Structure 1
Amino acid sequence: MTRKKGTVNDYPPIDRMTSDEIQGRMADLHAEAEGREFNEYEQSEWDALEARYEENERRRELVRQHADNPRHREAAGPLVVDRGDGPRDAAMRNLDAAVKGGTMPADAAEKVERLMSGRQHGSLAARWAAAGSEPAYVSAFFKALSGERGHLLWTPEEADAYRRVEAVRAELRAMQVGAGATGGFQIPTVIDPALRISSDGSISPIRQLAEVRQEIGTEFKPVTSAHVTNQWTAESVQVPDNSPTLEQSTIKSFKSTSFVPFSFEYETASFGGAIQDLTRLLVDGYDQLSNEAFLNGNGTTQPQGLWTGLGGTASELSPAAAETFNAAVDVYAVQNALPPRFQPGASWLMDLATINKISESETTNGAPRFPNIGETNPVLLRKPVGEWSNMRSSADITPTVTADNPIIIYGDIRQTYCIVDFAGSSVELVPHLVGDNHRPTGERGLLLWARVGAGVVIANAARVLNVATTA
């Protein structure tokens, strides 16, 4: 069976790739070279992939060492949260067991490890990960969801595990600005949607292109600088002060909610596949809600969207002819407007209809002007194209309607936009659902809340073409 080649849209940034993704990308590079020597850019990417692969394998070996160390194992029985060697070691054991057992993807476990390595809240993250990943807490969580009296089925070990999680949640609530939610159950670390989101196969490539972080708390403050100024100086002349202007924006967390009803019959059925079913529902709902916000979110009651952060700034461009999109002119203008320092990592974002509109553009002799944009892995002016169906398209441009139509975004999205998933999602059991006449329907419900934030951190790293219309 022939393997389908991938492009930048098929992989996350190198520093977040799993070992399997790295091997896949290396295979793609080999196939693209077709036996010739790598050019400068391909060799540079190959070297970066090799370095990341070695780092991933080093981390995996550390996990195996933790799991194989006799000091980290009981003579019998499941893994427990702590045996005197610290919450980080306990978390590593529990995560390794979850990965081997198939309840947690390896890349999600790597995100937790990076979260525990943070300088600001690494210790708290380790306690959160250790308590929330303990097998006794996972079983307590699903027993609690089996009915309003499910907690009465807890073993002493499960009750202890629940109390440890609640102690960590109290620390997390103390970090929140204002009053934090106190009800419900923390979702076990191994199925937390804030860690498992990847947008694989999604209609939005934004998580693959943007900087994505996992944090503890309720806000994240990235420090950015547009550039550092360098100068030539003469001999024995005082060096000028070329200190860059540092900017610190705040990415706040916003609460997203999901509600999943389920019947009494489902409750009495076996929960053997509950982890997989619940994870799929929670991740899908969380992903679809965030896709729209990451483009158009207002930044006050939901994460700031990419278009929201770029619109009204110097990064917003108008077409050559008002209220009209001319691919033969506007595409070049958008790319030319991006500063050179952001060109190497740049890519395009647009809706499928806009991609098709550009593919229709022809030269004066009838040849396709942009022949590579119509391929399976589209490329426009030597830069990859990502399809984002939430975006406005060229088909939405209606001169009789007053509207903004941001149909093309181009730039280094990783430097432009930052997404922060805040760990510690919670779920509440609603014991009885009622119908219009306030009588029970024979259903219960799960109410999930999770926190995510996003925002534009360097607007100059991208450009957006807005074909605005006025009625």
Structure 2
Amino acid sequence: MTLEELRARIAEIETEMRGIHEAAGDAALDADQQARWDELETEHGDLSRQREEAEAAEQRAQAELQRRRGMVAQFAARGATEPGDGNVDVRGPRSPEFMQRVDPWDGSELRALSRREVRDRSLKVLEAKDGTRHLRSDQVDKVDRLLRARTDNCDGGVIGRRLLATENDAYRSAFMKASLHAQPAFTEEEARAIEEFRAMAGGTDAAGGYGIPVLIDPTITLTAQGSLNPFRRISRQVTITTDEWKGVSSAGVTWSYDAEGSAVSDDTPTLAQPSVPIVTARGFIPYSIEVGMDYPGFADEMSTLLMEGYDELQAKSFAIGSGSNEPRGILTALDANTNVEVAVTTDGAFGGVDINKVWGALPDRWKQNATWVMNHDVGNEVATFGNGNNLSFMTVDLTGVVETIRQRPVEFASYFPDFTGTTGASNILVVGDFRNFLIADRAGMSLELVPHLFDVTNNRPTGQRGWFAWARHGANSINDLGFRLLQNTL
């Protein structure tokens, strides 16, 4: 119970006890009244002790808050951003005004906060412009939705606790030091913030490393806009806090016409539970010691470095990933299902008739939201279908690229195959509703500093350090029938 809830319940008990006394008047309490009075008296005593403890904790928290505000004001007056950090902050100076608008949490009580308190406090941090100025509006909106989520696959409370644990001055300063120095000298507050985060994470997600602050964490803030990965723009994306995404799918309820007075036919739908397992992605970013000594704009640079490499790896795996220790790519999934494969009309050739053929094979229910995905080389082939006065297949002239086919958008994926024009089995393109291709990101990326890198030939130090980052995600088709795969031969 929160302090306010304790006070409210104590007031309710006292009101009920007065009511019992007034009902008895001058007479003694009967057996039922006496039993109820004893229950209320016991509960009143227990809650009163809890209230005293909560009030004492609140007083300590207020005293700590005032101490922190005083420290921030002192360092701001001296032009520093955080004690002991060399005037470098993860997201720039933290003004005293910001600290007053966003009351820092008491780290010792983070795990004890209720889910509602976690949500309210984390949303308050998110709403502060000082903390989100490096994020686009769509990224802020995404984090907001995640903090409010409560499903079997995603608990916003987990993300909220992570945000509160990492989006505070002590943790940001500690993370900055740990990511730039082999032997960081943490202040007492920084060490406490690191310990609180690891305790909150259960000692697993960040064991041996440091959790990236939520508001520069690609697994949480990465969105489709501006991404080089076309699958992020068109597929269904979910952020989860579990080790596997599990859904429910059905072909739907079958209706029927039945005679008057007769029993309705059994139209029970068949339910299935598609799942997407989560795998681990790893990245390594080397940098010189000199760069580590002079590193302005840390948040923007760190976020860009982590996001670009993470996105490039996924662009490949979402296309052709095997599904073994990596996501299962859309081509891999569809190539294993003969029900969705469509062969070209002429082996080794590719023309407008094949576009018509694969489009005609796609069920109508998936056409309205369908997207074409292909390699740029295949797109170039499509762009020339109108040559030779075959105007029925006219697409674009040489000044442009194919943007739509059958009024549905075209996306280009670098890891889709080129069109070679040779005979034999070969994938060409995919068309379908990519809401049936699910990308699941497990919230939370961690990073660890490798203090020295060594030359592979002489084993001597190179004057470089490295960031070793890891994150977890998965992808797979959760309904192959929502796609069609055009192939050279089956």
Query: Do structure 1's residue 303 and structure 2's residue 327 form an aligned pair?
Result: yes
- Provide the C-alpha distance between the structure 2 equivalents of 1:216 and 1:98, rounded to a whole number of angstroms: 26
In structure 2, do the counterparts of structure 1 residues 441 and 406 end up closer, same or farther at CA, with 3 Å as the change threshold? same
Which is worse superposed, 156-165 or 416-425?
156-165
Q: Structure 1's 465 and 101: CA in aligned 2 closer, same or farther, altered over 3 A? A: closer
Match of 2:241 in 1: 216
SS of corresponding position for 1:455: strand
Larger CA Rg, structure 1 vs 2: 2
Amino acid at match of 1:329: V
Out of 393, 396, 399, the residue aligned to residue 418 of structure 2 is 393
Within 5 A, what are the aligned runs for 1:335-346? 335-346=359-370
Matching of residue 87 in structure 1 with residue 118 in structure 2: yes
Q: Where does residue 188 of structure 1 map in the other structure?
A: 213
Q: Which amino acid aligns with 2:192?
A: D
**Contact 1:226–1:458 (8 Å) recurs in 2:** no
Aligned partners of 2:402, 2:356: CA distance in 1, in Å? 20
CA displacement at 1:100 relative to structure 2? 5.5
Cα drift, residue 161 of structure 1: 2.1
Q: State whether structure 2 residue 453 is matched by structure 1 residue 433.
A: yes
Work out whether residues 360 and 368 of structure 1, in 8 Å CA contact, stay in contact via their aligned partners in 2. no
Asked whether 1:369 is paired with 2:389, we answer: no
Q: Is 1:129 matched up with 2:190?
A: no
Query: Which of 445, 464, 471 is residue 485 of structure 2 equivalent to?
Result: 464
With 450-459 and 260-269 compared, the bigger mean Cα shift is at 260-269
Deviation per CA, 1:210-263, whole angstroms, max 9, x where unpaired? 100111122111211233322223333322222221111221111111111111
The one of 146, 155, 179 equivalent to 1:115 is: 146
Would the alpha carbon gap of residues 303 and 128 (structure 1) be closer, same or farther in structure 2, given more than 3 Å must change? same
Name the Cα RMSD after superposition: 2.5
8 A contact 2:220–2:444 mirrored in 1:
no
Match of 1:422 in 2: 442
Cα shift readout 1:46-65 (whole Å, capped 9, x = no counterpart): xxxxxxxxxxxxxxxxxxxx
SS of the counterpart of 1:158?
helix
**1:334–1:464 CA contact under 8 A, matched in 2:** yes
Q: Indicate how the Cα distance of structure 1 residues 353 and 279 shifts in structure 2: closer, same or farther if over 3 A, else same.
A: same
Any stretches of 5+ residues in structure 2 without a counterpart?
1-61, 70-95, 107-112
Q: How does 1:254-293 map to 2 (within 5 A)?
A: 254-269=279-294, 271-293=295-317
Whether the aligned pair in 2 keeps the contact of 1:255 and 1:452 (CA below 8 Å) is: yes
Tell me the residue number matched to 1:334.
358
Cα distance in 1, alignment partners of residues 308 and 176 from structure 2: 20
- Once the two structures are overlaid, the 10-residue window that deviates more, 81-90 or 248-257, is 81-90
Are the equivalent residues in 2 in contact too, given 1:203–1:388 (CA < 8 A)?
A: no
Confirm or deny: 8 A CA contact 1:309 1:456 kept in the other structure. yes
Q: State how far apart, in whole Å, the 2-side matches of 1:305 and 1:148 are.
A: 38
Deviations 1:276-328 (A, max 9, x none): 11111110000001001001001111001001111121111111122322x22
- Secondary structure in 2 matching 1:170: coil
Q: 2:199 aligned with 1:167, yes or no?
A: yes
**Partners of 1:162 and 1:97 in 2: CA distance:** 23
Q: Give the superposition deviation at 1:94.
A: 2.0
Q: Deviations over 1:136-171 (max 9, x none)?
A: 322211011221221x2x333322322221122217
Q: CA deviation at 1:461?
A: 0.3
2:183 equivalent in structure 1: 149
Count of matched residue positions in the alignment of Structure 1 and Structure 2:
381
Q: Deviations over 1:157-194 (max 9, x none)?
A: 322322221122217x4xxxxxx772111111011111
Distance 1:407 1:106 in 2: 37
Matches within 5 A, 1:392-411: 392-394=417-419, 396-399=420-423, 404-411=425-432
Residues 373, 87 of structure 1: CA spacing in aligned structure 2 closer, same or farther, 3 A cutoff? farther
**Which of 126, 129, 137 lines up with 1:106 in the alignment?**
137
Measured after TM superposition, the shift of residue 90 of structure 1 is 1.9
In structure 2, the partner of 1:444 is: 465
> What does residue 249 of structure 1 align with?
274
Deviation at 1:381, TM superposition (A): 1.7
Distance 1:351 1:450 in 2: 28
Partner secondary structure for residue 317 of structure 1: strand
Quote the Cα distance in structure 2 between the aligned partners of 1:340 and 1:278. Answer: 45
Query: Could you tell me which residue of structure 2 aligns to residue 455 of structure 1?
Result: 476
Partners of 2:132 and 2:145 in 1: CA distance: 21
Q: How far off its partner does 1:419 sit? A: 0.2
SS at match of 1:371: coil
* C-alpha deviation, 1:115, in angstroms: 2.4
Deviations 1:305-353 (A, max 9, x none): 001111121111111122322x221100100101111111112111122
**5+ residue gaps in structure 1?**
1-70, 174-179
SS of structure 1 residue aligned to 2:201: helix
Report the counterpart of residue 352 of structure 1 in structure 2: 376
Counterpart contact for 1:133–1:188, Cα < 8 Å: yes
Provide the C-alpha distance between the structure 2 equivalents of 1:125 and 1:197, rounded to a whole number of angstroms: 15
Give a deviation string over 1:34-73, Cα, whole Å, max 9, x none: xxxxxxxxxxxxxxxxxxxxxxxxxxxxxxxxxxxxx9xx
Cα distance in 2 for residues equivalent to 1:303 and 1:320: 32
Letter of the 1:409 counterpart:
V
Shift of 1:98: 5.8
Larger deviation, residues 444-453 vs 367-376: 367-376
TM-score (ref. length: structure 1): 0.75
Q: What's the TM-score, normalizing by structure 2?
A: 0.72
- d(CA) in 1 for partners of 2:132 and 2:479? 41
1:421, CA displacement in angstroms? 0.9
Range moving further from structure 2, 350-359 or 234-243: 234-243
Shift of 1:376: 5.5
1:377-400 superposed Cα distances (whole Å, 9 cap, x missing partner): 711122221122221122x3433x
Whether 1:382 aligns to 2:407 is: yes
Change in 2 beyond 3 A, CA 1:187/1:98:
farther
Change (3 A) 1:181 1:158: closer
CA distance in 2, matches of 1:276, 1:355: 34
1:236 is the counterpart of 2:258: no
